[in-house]
């Protein structure tokens, strides 16, 4: 599992570069311990290079979990699925540097955020609710963004970091750029590894992981145009506590070309073009990272090898004919092909001897327009319309109606075509020290691979889920942002109806999970604030609440995280900045047993809990040291969205995957 030579090499490389550079650095950011205030109407913007507590996140899902309104479906030490306001998977649109990366596993071992290292990005932007049409319709949009067209600082500069912690945690990060006369090259590299963690009672959890990611970027920036070519490669493996297999290969290769230019016309304008290809090669088995025990039902180990190629592109024209009017018009398209091969008798018939079989293909074309209009004075009006043309082809010849038999697929070779419309309208009142907004959005979402084909989904009327209806979310969003001399406050709330919500239910362990359309209602919101009574002291608080109901069945909507409160503070004591955070989560008695989403199903109620985390940081010119301890009291607890723990040889069987016990960590960053 370990590849410490790679981590050591990166650390040495960072040290060599650092020692050879004498550039003065601006002040490095230190730990931020809790949620942040909204930066704009319905928008939350954070800097992923700033550490957040709990311990520095190693993938996108772990980072999002630390933001108000987000939760994480725990599966082990990595690869968790993020959820926002109870909406997960494709209801939460994940944009990776203006493109998309779709995982390969039919059981969501590798969600899009599993391939994202937060420290390798420059900002994360969260759009709450269906308040944009620039990307695929969803209940929320999360963009992991990189700066490509900012003014280039000449010469060599960057930042290198090392994190070590409990349970063998070790991570390295390097972000270095060299620029000269408009041309630049940038390298982002990261490694991460951890042993199995233990919960508060000392029980070991099958959760170790090892990953590496490298991104190389070549770019040019002129007076009116810029061009960027980038290539990303990542590898890894991870053990899982919630299933009968582990991920022994997470290989990604991603290429991207981005071009931006200003058009030779009188008004302010620009055109942006982005092309991307992403290849995912994933392998999971039940013997490489765990002990395989033969049985009558399974005399030999098993392995699966899904792959996916995703091609995507977009072009957007931005026009600003006047100071009070701006328009964005664009089109985007994507195509992804999913393949799979497997072996239930890996010793005598290894999966590598079998050809990849196509099982699902998706194509999408979208057209959109957004208009920003200052009505006069402090009032602004934002509008957007979008149309998506979808096509999905079922390429599965056979289905598995139970674990022991195969049956012909009644929808094999059939193609489903559909046209969907989405849009939003939002009015904002902006003053010098506060702003408020009210918006209404409509988002029509086409079912994704996991809902139509993953795990051989069925419907009430057919063993194939190819024709499960598309969802329609209709939601109101309202919020206010207030800035004072020593304080900030933001509050947002939402109320929505979801027509044809795609509910996943397990009728029996011997049958495929069933997809069924229902009508649902959701509501809730987030409040965040910060108060600085003095230059040395800062106090912060955030609270998030989500509720959902299954209107069709007059019961609860599953997979809705309970209410959560975070209180934190930091104090400047001479050269040290000291911080603490108290997180408390309410009990969740609202659940729908054996129902949920493609990510996970409800397993029952959960108890409330509280945890305490502490941290300290100090800066010496370009060098910053951060240390911390999470779960100070070594509490044993499980999140409501945690999945069922699997029965794994050598590990204690638990009803839910528990969270880590007391964890110590230290991070050092050097800017050069």
**22: Cβ contacts below 8 Å, ≥ 6 apart:** none
pLDDT the model gives residue 269: 87
4-671 has CATH 3.10.290.10 classification: no
Encode pLDDT of 136-155 as tens digits: 999 999 999 988 755 567 88
Element (H, E) at 518: strand 514-531
**Interior angle at CA 584, CA 638 and CA 561, nearest 5:** 55
Q: Which range is least confidently modeled, 157-161, 182-186, 457-461, 503-507? A: 457-461
Task: Over range 274-286, report the average pLDDT.
Answer: 95
More confident: 17 or 555: 555
Q: Distance between CA atoms of 526 and 546, rounded to whole angstroms?
A: 9
Q: Distance between CA atoms of 149 and 134, rounded to whole angstroms?
A: 20
What distance lies between CA 464 and its chain's CA centroid?
A: 29
φ and ψ at 120, to 5 degrees? Answer: -90, 10
Length of the chain equals: 672
Element (H, E) at 369: strand 357-376
Per the CB < 8 A criterion, the answer to whether 529 and 541 are in contact is yes
In the predicted structure, residue 315 carries a pLDDT above the cut 70? yes
Q: Distance between CA atoms of 107 and 601, rounded to whole angstroms?
A: 12
pLDDT the model gives residue 162: 94
DSSP state, residue 660: P
Encode pLDDT of 73-113 as tens digits: 999 999 999 999 999 999 999 998 888 888 889 889 999 99
Q: Identify the burial level of 513 via C-beta atoms within 10 angstroms of its C-beta, where 0-12 means exposed, 13-18 middle and 19 or more buried.
A: buried
29: pLDDT confidence band, cut at 50, 70 and 90? low
Per the CB < 8 A criterion, the answer to whether 524 and 544 are in contact is yes
pTM value? Answer: 0.91
Residue 321, token pair as written in the block: 């004919």
459: pLDDT confidence band, cut at 50, 70 and 90? confident
Per the CB < 8 A criterion, the answer to whether 630 and 579 are in contact is no
3-class secondary-structure state, position 577: strand
Element (H, E) at 5: helix 4-19
More confident: 456 or 530: 530
Q: Distance between CA atoms of 554 and 556, rounded to whole angstroms?
A: 7
């Amino acid at each position: 599992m370990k590849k410490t030579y790679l981590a050591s090499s990166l650390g040495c490389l960072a040290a060599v570069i650092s020692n050879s550079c004498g550039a003065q650095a601006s002040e490095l950011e230190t730990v931020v311990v809790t949620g942040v205030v909204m930066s704009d109407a319905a928008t939350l913007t954070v800097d992923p290079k700033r550490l957040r507590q709990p311990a520095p996140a190693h993938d996108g899902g772990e980072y999002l979990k630390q933001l108000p309104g987000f939760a994480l479906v725990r599966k082990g030490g990595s690869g968790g699925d993020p959820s926002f306001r109870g909406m997960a998977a494709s209801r939460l649109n994940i944009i990776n540097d203006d493109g998309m990366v779709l995982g390969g596993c039919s059981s969501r071992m590798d969600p899009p955020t599993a391939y994202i290292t937060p420290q390798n990005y420059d900002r994360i932007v969260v759009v709450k609710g269906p308040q944009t049409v620039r990307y695929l319709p969803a209940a929320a949009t999360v963009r992991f963004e990189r700066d490509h067209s900012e003014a280039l600082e000449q010469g060599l500069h960057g930042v290198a970091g090392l994190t070590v912690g409990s349970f063998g945690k070790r991570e390295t990060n390097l972000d270095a750029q060299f620029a000269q006369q408009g041309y630049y090259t940038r390298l982002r590299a990261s490694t991460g590894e951890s042993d199995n963690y233990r919960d508060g009672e000392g029980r070991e959890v099958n959760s170790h992981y090892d990953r590496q990611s490298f991104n190389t970027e070549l770019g040019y920036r002129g007076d009116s145009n810029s061009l960027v070519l980038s290539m990303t490669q990542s590898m890894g493996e991870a053990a899982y506590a919630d299933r009968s297999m582990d991920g022994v290969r997470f290989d990604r290769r991603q290429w991207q070309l981005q071009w931006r230019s200003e058009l030779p016309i009188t008004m302010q304008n620009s055109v942006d073009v982005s092309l991307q290809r992403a290849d995912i090669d994933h392998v999971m088995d039940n013997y490489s990272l765990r002990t395989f025990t033969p049985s009558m039902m399974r005399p030999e180990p098993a392995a699966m090898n899904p792959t996916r190629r995703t091609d995507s592109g977009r072009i957007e024209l931005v026009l600003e004919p006047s100071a009070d009017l701006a328009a964005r018009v664009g089109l985007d398209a994507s195509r992804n092909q999913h393949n799979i091969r497997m072996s239930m008798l890996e010793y005598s018939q290894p999966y590598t001897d079998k050809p990849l079989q196509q099982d699902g293909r998706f194509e999408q074309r979208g057209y959109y327009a957004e208009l920003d209009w200052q009505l006069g004075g402090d009032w602004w009006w934002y509008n957007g319309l979008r149309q998506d043309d979808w096509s999905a082809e079922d390429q599965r010849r056979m289905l598995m109606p139970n674990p022991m038999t195969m049956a012909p697929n009644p929808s094999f070779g059939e193609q489903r075509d559909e046209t969907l419309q989405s849009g939003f309208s939002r009015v904002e009142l902006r003053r010098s020290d506060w702003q408020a907004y009210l918006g209404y959005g409509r988002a029509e979402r086409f079912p994704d691979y996991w809902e139509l084909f993953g795990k051989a989904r069925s419907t009430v009327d057919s063993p194939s889920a190819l024709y499960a209806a598309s969802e329609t979310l209709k939601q109101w969003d309202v919020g206010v942002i207030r800035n004072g001399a020593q304080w900030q406050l933001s509050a947002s709330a939402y109320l929505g109806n979801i027509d044809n919500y795609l509910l996943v239910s397990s009728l029996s362990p011997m049958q495929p999970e069933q997809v069924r359309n229902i009508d649902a209602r959701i509501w809730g919101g987030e409040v965040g604030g910060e108060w600085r009574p003095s230059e040395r002291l800062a106090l912060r608080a955030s609270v998030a609440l989500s509720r959902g109901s299954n209107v069709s069945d007059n019961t609860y909507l599953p997979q809705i995280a309970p209410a959560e409160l975070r209180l934190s503070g930091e104090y400047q004591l001479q050269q040290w900045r000291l911080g603490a955070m108290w997180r408390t989560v309410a009990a969740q008695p609202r659940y729908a047993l054996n129902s949920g989403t493609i990510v996970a199903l409800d397993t029952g109620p959960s108890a409330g809990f509280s945890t305490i985390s502490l941290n300290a940081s100090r800066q010496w010119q370009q060098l910053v040291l951060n240390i911390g301890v999470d779960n100070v009291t070594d509490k044993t607890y499980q999140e409501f969205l945690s999945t069922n723990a699997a029965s794994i040889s050598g590990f204690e069987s638990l009803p839910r995957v528990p969270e880590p016990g007391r964890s110590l960590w230290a991070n050092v960053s050097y800017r050069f």
